[in-house]
Amino acid sequence: MAVRAVRGAVQIDRDDVTELHEATAELVSAVMERNDFTIDDMISVIFTVTPDLTSDFPAHAARLMGFTDVPLMCSTEIPVPGALPRVIRLMAHVETDKARAQIQHVYLRGAAALRRDIAQ
């Protein structure tokens, strides 16, 4: 069993608790489904948000989804001028038999612009 990292991001329309929770759930669910992961596969998840998102922690949304025993952490992205606004990112560390090339990274909504090379 190997440890792999999977990345993902989603952009939201406005800084709102409900929208942040829904988008985080959409992102986490897509990462899990596309890679056939379960919560038991998860080692940890690091969430980041752009500085314009302050309504809640994405980790709180993940806890509401059942990620109660997975270490979660949130941070703020550096405020680079011209960067895509209102973005929630994640990097999850998982235990899996998948090769690195088999990992499906997930970029949703406007965040697909961040990684057009791998966004689905």
Catalytic residue numbers, as ranges: 7, 63, 74, 77, 89, 107, 115
Cα 49 from Cα 58, distance rounded (Å): 8
Listed in sequence order, the DSSP H helices in the chain are 17-35, 58-64
Residue type, 64: L
Give the containing element (helix H, strand E) for 107: strand 106-108
Burial of 49 (0-12, 13-18, 19+ CB in 10 A): buried
